[in-house]
Structure 1
Amino acid sequence: MLQKSNETQQDVLQQTLKMPWSLSQLLSCCSRQQGINRVRLITRDGHCNIEYGKMKYSTCFAYMHDIWSTCVQIRWYSLTFFYVASFIFSWFIFTLLWYWVGYSNGDLWWQNPSANHTACVLNLYDLTTAYLFSVETQLTIGFGYRVITPLCPSAITVFMAQILVGIVIACFWCGVLIAKISLPKKVAKAVSFSEKAVICFKQDTLSLQIRVANIRKSLLLGSQIYGKLIRTRVTPEGKTFIMEQVNIDFMVDAGKDNLFFVCPLTLYHVIDKTSPFFQMAVDTLQQQDFELVVFLDGTAESTSSSCQVRTSYLPQEIIWGYKFLPIVSRSKEGKYHIDFSNFDKVEPVPTAHCANCYHDLNGRHHFSNNGTDNAGFEVIEIDSQDNQLSSVNT
């Protein structure tokens, strides 16, 4: 019986492939039958899922071209490795230079210097002592056992060069460490978005809503919220546009610019005729091929550093006919209490089946109960000639 079922599925697939379907119809059929397993462009934690290939220059060259940004963005274990390696490498380079200074003056032990010989660096007679003197010079330890003499200009030149190089290396890594600790993405981790987006009514209009919160007590100044709908579109001529971007405007009751981000906010996008969600419905939303990317830009009040928080929602993460539970209340002590246990919780509400039917020009507002059709829905038609009303059960 299982073999028969497999043969039936193969026959259906073969019949489907033999049909003269267009590319858009084939994509629509595949999305309905098997669902869309879309790969995110932006992960939920804000990272970009991008891989570069066949570049003109190698990836290593691109990273080394901007060494500062590379050092700031690499992981901590890589940073520690390069930090230690840079000092050891510089010590070893100057070890060879000090060894050359001693060799050129005949100070090394195997050169058998005379008893009244004056060395360029006292007590520097082999590679080990040259390495120790290099470390002492660059770190300004100054034990005093190995001392430079004023008789060799080459020794004075190497001494000054190593001091300058050591200062540059120390200042560079100090700056990298401070910049890495104060990265804006550390501030962005305190901002969280809701796991789901919902579609429900907001001020007598259908809207897509998300919730965002800043768990730090310090504010994000000049906050701005906006979105991009990234989708794959096939034109009637058969051209496929991958990663087409459409602007999505988000706002709160007071507007969309300079949000007062003192408590969790519910951001909403009005689904009107200009919205890409206008032609979608409760039964077609899950079949769409798009990714909604939401951006939040702001400036940290404590560090004055700009940051951007990103997240994305797939069609399976947008639920129709639900609204977020309230989380802000006033306590007995006169303070505003925020209940984060309800941050991601939603509840069903009566919502229109689709935005198109809600904005019908004839005024036929079709409401649904929790995203499903109402069994007792009636359409009322008005005859302008004889003013007779007729009720038609659907």
Structure 2
Amino acid sequence: MAPAQRRAPPVRLQKHGGIFTAVNPSDWIRHWRHPNHLMLAVPWPGFFGLIAAGYLLLNLLFAVIFWVDPHGIAGVAGETTSFLEAFFFSVQTLGSIGYGAFHPSSLFTHLVVTVESLLGLIVIALTTGMAFSRFSRSTARILFSEVVTVHDYDGEPTLMFRLANERRKTILEARVQAFLAIDERTSEGHRMRRLHPMLLNRDRSPLFLLTWTLMHPINEHSPLHGRTSEELLASQAELVMAFSGIDETLERPIYAHHNVPASQMLFGQGFVDMMQEEEGQGQCFDFANFNRTQPCPCSDPA
């Protein structure tokens, strides 16, 4: 008789960016298996907090080891080494500060000092490398419109959304991809979360400096063809967008992504033109109109 297999506990899911991801209160523990990823992923306060916690724990560990030999440290105030003196002796050793009044006086303490000095070099090198990696990492400041609009454009229903470059620095080889994430069922009744690619009129730009309006024609090749706003809401549809490009200043790739739920897909609305005419100043961009919409005619996407 085959042994009973251990059943894995169910995993709760949440939807993020149009895609379901696992949610488990104990999942954060798994990050400790990949400390490099953890140190790059946490925000700066968390990064410095982990560095400080690791530094404190390491010195506490070596303080306990030094405390094993009560006469191994010379220059202490009493006849034997106190735990506080052992701790600060470890701090001086790990940081290569120089002992001053404290110095090792036994073979055991000399050996521990040797190990801690070597470990201190490694810790400093790793910390410096992680801090440099965080500082040198390129971050995209791409602003996505809060809503998407659907209205007629050149006689065809068209979905539109906007991007803006918040840094106002040129991004080279910019590229945008759009997908419709929607719940569907197969002919056999299997429920699936699918990503349907959405063809854009122009998904690449050699230079991206200010704003960019992306257009997706809703024709027979579109995953939105024949779908009503009520059907999209019932299927928990979302528009998933991914941006990539090269920062001209740092010459490094940058990425950004965004998702818009079906509740923020505005049918019969169009974006207000950001190009404004001002007397005596000619044309100018009004970024206050980035998310503003106005009624526009929209035929049935079916």
Give TM class, smaller chain. Answer: 0.7 to 0.9
Q: Distance in 2 between matches of 1:296 and 1:146?
A: 57
> Which residues of structure 1 form unaligned runs of 5+?
1-38, 109-119, 357-394
Per-residue Cα deviation, 1:8-27 (whole angstroms, up to 9, x for no partner): xxxxxxxxxxxxxxxxxxxx
Q: Distance in 1 between matches of 2:155 and 2:214?
A: 16
1:169-318 to 2 correspondences below 5 Å:
169-181=123-135, 183-184=137-138, 187-188=139-140, 190-237=141-188, 239-252=189-202, 256-281=203-228, 289-318=236-265
Q: Distance in 1 between matches of 2:137 and 2:208?
A: 21
> Which residues of structure 2 form unaligned runs of 5+?
1-13
In structure 2, relative to structure 1, the CA distance for the partners of 1:122 and 1:241 (3 Å cut) is same
In structure 2, relative to structure 1, the CA distance for the partners of 1:146 and 1:261 (3 Å cut) is same
Q: Distance in 1 between matches of 2:110 and 2:55?
A: 21
In structure 2, relative to structure 1, the CA distance for the partners of 1:279 and 1:130 (3 Å cut) is same
User: Once the 2 structures are TM-superposed, how far is the Cα of residue 329 of structure 1 from its aligned partner?
Assistant: 4.7
User: Once the 2 structures are TM-superposed, how far is the Cα of residue 82 of structure 1 from its aligned partner?
Assistant: 2.3
Matched, 1:97 2:65: yes
Matched, 1:344 2:291: yes
Tell me, what secondary structure is at the counterpart of 1:225?
strand
Amino acid at match of 1:247: P
Identity, % of aligned pairs? 18
User: Once the 2 structures are TM-superposed, how far is the Cα of residue 212 of structure 1 from its aligned partner?
Assistant: 0.8
Number of paired residues?
Answer: 285
Tell me, what secondary structure is at the counterpart of 1:294?
strand
User: Once the 2 structures are TM-superposed, how far is the Cα of residue 193 of structure 1 from its aligned partner?
Assistant: 1.3
Q: Which has the higher contact order (CA 8 A, sep 6+)?
A: 2
One of 43, 49, 52 as aligned partner of 2:23: 52
Check conservation: 1:225, 1:251, Cα contact below 8 A: no
Q: Distance in 2 between matches of 1:137 and 1:335?
A: 67
Q: Counterpart in 1 of 2:74?
A: 122
One of 48, 53, 57 as aligned partner of 1:85: 53
Check conservation: 2:89, 2:99, Cα contact below 8 A: no
Q: Distance in 1 between matches of 2:248 and 2:15?
A: 31
Matched, 1:137 2:93: yes
Tell me, what secondary structure is at the counterpart of 2:204?
coil
User: Once the 2 structures are TM-superposed, how far is the Cα of residue 167 of structure 1 from its aligned partner?
Assistant: 2.1
Q: Counterpart in 1 of 2:301?
A: 355
Q: Counterpart in 2 of 1:320?
A: 267
Tell me, what secondary structure is at the counterpart of 2:75?
coil
Tell me, what secondary structure is at the counterpart of 1:244?
strand
Q: Distance in 2 between matches of 1:97 and 1:129?
A: 12
What's the RMSD between the two structures over aligned residues?
Answer: 3.1
Structure with more strand by fraction: 2
Amino acid at match of 2:262: P
Amino acid at match of 2:17: I
TM-score after normalising by structure 2: 0.80
User: Once the 2 structures are TM-superposed, how far is the Cα of residue 234 of structure 1 from its aligned partner?
Assistant: 2.6
User: Once the 2 structures are TM-superposed, how far is the Cα of residue 206 of structure 1 from its aligned partner?
Assistant: 2.6
Tell me, what secondary structure is at the counterpart of 2:97?
coil
Tell me, what secondary structure is at the counterpart of 1:81?
helix
Tell me, what secondary structure is at the counterpart of 2:219?
coil
Check conservation: 1:212, 1:265, Cα contact below 8 A: yes
Amino acid at match of 1:229: L
Larger radius of gyration: 1
User: Once the 2 structures are TM-superposed, how far is the Cα of residue 316 of structure 1 from its aligned partner?
Assistant: 2.1
Tell me, what secondary structure is at the counterpart of 1:50?
strand
Q: Distance in 2 between matches of 1:146 and 1:201?
A: 81
TM-score after normalising by structure 1: 0.63
Q: Counterpart in 1 of 2:17?
A: 42
Per-residue Cα deviation, 1:106-135 (whole angstroms, up to 9, x for no partner): xx3xxxxxxxxxxx6431431333222221
Q: Distance in 2 between matches of 1:297 and 1:88?
A: 40
